């Protein structure tokens, strides 16, 4: 198996991307995974030498362009055909790699995914998810966190199926509870979207639906999988991230609040496409990169995408 | 001026409601405001005697029924015509009181408002707002936080106007900055609703529109007024409230996080109707009740509803 890595993405590229590769390899040497590094060949080779990164599992693919963090995604991908992101997707699309990981321009990563990689048959629209630290020490999963600003009830129902399969195989939650993010607990509450989604979720035999959850339930253990439209999910995710900013600014150093440092979770997989694509934060450092590679590896090892496909086709 | 108070609402009724009245009066004795207390006459009079609440500014109106916190709002209001909430609204509708304050069943308070009190001419739909503690020590205002789960762009634009007038006169923010809660900073980002609202906000001469804000900007000083649909706002509010729960559970005792104790803000006014209606939390204690009465008083003293009317009719 071969995982592609955009070494030019993120605020500390390429150094931290490569330190992440080193960290991953130090813990996974000889596991048979090959890593394909896209980026500035001279810079990569210099860091490989300096950091003494073992080269057996590593291949460098020279690219000459970089998509900046604030460039327009579609325009940049179209114009910069020799950028690390564009070439990374070419390799993934052609099967030269099996997964792709980047902490670069999120928009470009999402556009690249949607236009280069096939959506799994039966999937209405791909989705991105985020880990949420739970007070009980566990982790929850919110989806969608931004790919689909406007959703239909059928999509929310499918997010639940995708989230449940992902949680089972990747987060190792055996019987994940699914909650619908809503403005009241009782059935019938909500906006047009959630009122439409509730009965579908109730009928969905692929999931363990526990009903509506509210904003106050994000961090408690009512639900493991929390589904919502991408607009709501994106606001929730960024609000949750700002809790860590508060914790840092106020020097709270509390073990629970420290788990709001989203770097430890290693990026967000795009779910619903035929190959693992993991998108990291711009601020990603070595640990985040190493974790992103681990997520991609686990998605390949568990064949979770095939399981998503089967679950969606059953429902 | 006469402010009606539902003494039977909230988890600690009627004792904490009346302690709130005492607290308010101790700081505002002889200010000419009359308080009309709705509830169990015997219980109220006993507490007035025990707590030595001065009676000059107080009138008791005996009611014999109570709407429980979990009763169905419309059904309860229809059936319990001699409940403290129903009678409170009758007094307000007839002009026997000028404002109404309760920590009782929120749904019943909102239904009561919508069906007893006229919407201000030109207002599309009333709205509820919530204070948000800002990191800089100030306060922001989010609206809608739950009255309108599905909104049209025109409503979001009007929320901005209402919020700006309220912030100026009640929160004493001279030139409040208005932000549109969204999933990206640039114009054009968002769901169908925010994409439609942005150009209207940009053209609105009653407000100082600063553009889109994201989930991470809720607590910083980018915007004083933060507008969104009631679904999004309700999730944000309940999530923000749960930050205080975390702070308490983890015994953080941090001065900023302590400001997430929403009790200190004294409830949520319904904006867009012809009389002040202030809805408090079920957990409200004396300080919250005192603050709710203060909010109602300030809304009357500043004639903020007339100012809302003028602003809406100009725009």
Nearest to B191 among A150, A215, A240 (CB): A150
Query: Within this chain, do residues A129 and A203 fall inside the same structural domain, yes or no?
Result: yes
| Cβ contacts of B243 on chain A, cutoff 8 Å | 243
**Predicted local distance difference test score (pLDDT) of residue A34:** 97
Q: Which long-range contacts (CB under 8 A, 24 or more apart) does A58-67 make?
A: A58/A21, A58/A25, A58/A34, A59/A34, A59/A35, A60/A36, A61/A36, A61/A37, A61/A87, A61/A91, A63/A8, A63/A38, A63/A39, A63/A87, A64/A40, A66/A8, A67/A9, A67/A104, A67/A105, A67/A108
Q: What stretches in chain B show pLDDT beneath 70? A: none
Q: What is the pLDDT of residues B41-89, one digit of tens each?
A: 999 999 999 999 999 999 999 999 999 988 999 999 999 999 999 999 9
For residue A83, the model assigns a pLDDT of 98
Is pLDDT larger for residue A282 or for residue B243? Answer: B243
Q: Which of B252, B135, B242 is nearest to A240 (CA)?
A: B242
pLDDT reported for residue A313: 86
Same domain, B216 and B285: no
A-B contacts at Cβ under 8 angstroms:
109
B311: in domain: no
Q: Closest-CA residue in chain A for B245?
A: A216
Structural domain contains residue B313: no
Residue A96: pLDDT band by 50, 70, 90 thresholds? very high
Quote ipTM for the complex.
Answer: 0.93
- Is the residue at A309 inside a domain? no
Q: Which of B160, B173, B183, B181 minimizes the C-alpha distance to B272? A: B160
Q: Which domain holds residue B208?
A: 124-262
Interface of A with B (CB under 8 A): 135, 146, 149-150, 181, 183, 190-192, 194, 214-220, 229-232, 234-243, 245-246, 249-250, 252, 254, 256-257
B108 in the same domain as B94: yes
pLDDT, average across residues A224-252: 95
Collapsing DSSP to helix, strand or coil, A249 comes out as helix
d(Cα A156, Cα A228) in Å, to the nearest integer? Answer: 6
Establish if A279 belongs to a structural domain: yes
pLDDT of residue B176: 98
CA-nearest of A159, A164, A129, A158 to A146 is: A129
CATH of the domain at B67: 3.40.718.10
| pLDDT for A64 | 98
Are both B153 and B252 inside the same structural domain? yes
Judge: A183–B235 Cβ closer than 8 Å, yes or no. yes
| pLDDT range class, residue A281, cuts 50, 70, 90 | confident
pLDDT of res. A66 = 97
Structural domain contains residue B267: no
Could you give the 3-state DSSP secondary structure of residue B32?
A: coil
Q: Given pLDDT bands bounded at 50, 70 and 90, which one contains residue A250?
A: very high
pLDDT at A202: 98
Kindly state the percentage of chain A with pLDDT values over 70: 100
Q: Are residues A13 and A50 in the same domain?
A: yes
Q: What is the pLDDT of residue A181?
A: 98
Same-domain status, A116 and A1: yes
Q: Is A148 a member of any domain?
A: yes
pLDDT for residue A267: 86
Rounded CA-CA distance B128/B157 in Å is: 15
Q: Which residues of B touch A229 (CB under 8 A)?
A: 191
Q: What pLDDT, on the 0 to 100 scale, is given for residue B128?
A: 94
The pLDDT of residue B264 is 81
Q: Is 80 exceeded by the pLDDT of residue A72? A: yes
């Amino acid at each position: 198996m071969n995982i592609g890595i955009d070494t030019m993405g993120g605020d500390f590229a390429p150094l931290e991307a490569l330190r992440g590769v080193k960290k991953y390899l130090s813990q996974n040497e000889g596991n048979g995974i090959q890593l394909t590094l896209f980026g500035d060949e001279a810079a990569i080779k210099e860091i490989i030498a300096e950091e003494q990164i073992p080269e057996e599992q590593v291949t460098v693919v020279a690219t000459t362009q970089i998509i900046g963090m604030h460039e327009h995604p579609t325009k940049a991908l179209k114009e910069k055909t020799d950028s690390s992101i564009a070439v990374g997707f070419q390799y993934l699309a052609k099967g030269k790699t099996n997964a792709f990981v980047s902490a670069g321009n999120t928009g470009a990563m999402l556009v690249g995914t949607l236009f280069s990689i096939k959506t799994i048959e039966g999937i209405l629209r791909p989705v991105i998810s985020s880990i949420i630290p739970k007070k009980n020490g566990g982790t929850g999963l919110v989806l969608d966190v931004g790919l689909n600003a406007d959703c239909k009830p059928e999509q929310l129902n499918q997010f639940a199926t995708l989230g449940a399969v992902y949680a089972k195989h990747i987060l190792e939650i055996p019987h994940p509870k699914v909650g619908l993010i809503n403005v009241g607990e009782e059935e019938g509450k909500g906006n047009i979207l959630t009122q439409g989604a509730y009965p579908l979720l109730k009928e969905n035999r692929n999931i363990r639906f526990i009903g509506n959850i509210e904003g106050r339930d994000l961090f408690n253990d009512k639900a493991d999988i929390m589904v919502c439209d991408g607009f709501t999910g994106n606001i929730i995710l960024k609000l949750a991230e700002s809790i860590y900013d508060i914790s840092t600014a106020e020097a709270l150093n509390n073990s629970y609040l420290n788990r709001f440092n989203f770097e430890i979770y290693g990026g967000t997989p795009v779910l619903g496409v035929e190959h693992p694509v993991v998108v990291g934060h711009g601020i990603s450092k070595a640990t985040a990169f190493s974790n992103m590679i681990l997520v991609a590896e686990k998605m390949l090892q568990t064949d979770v995408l095939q399981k998503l496909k089967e679950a969606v086709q059953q429902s």
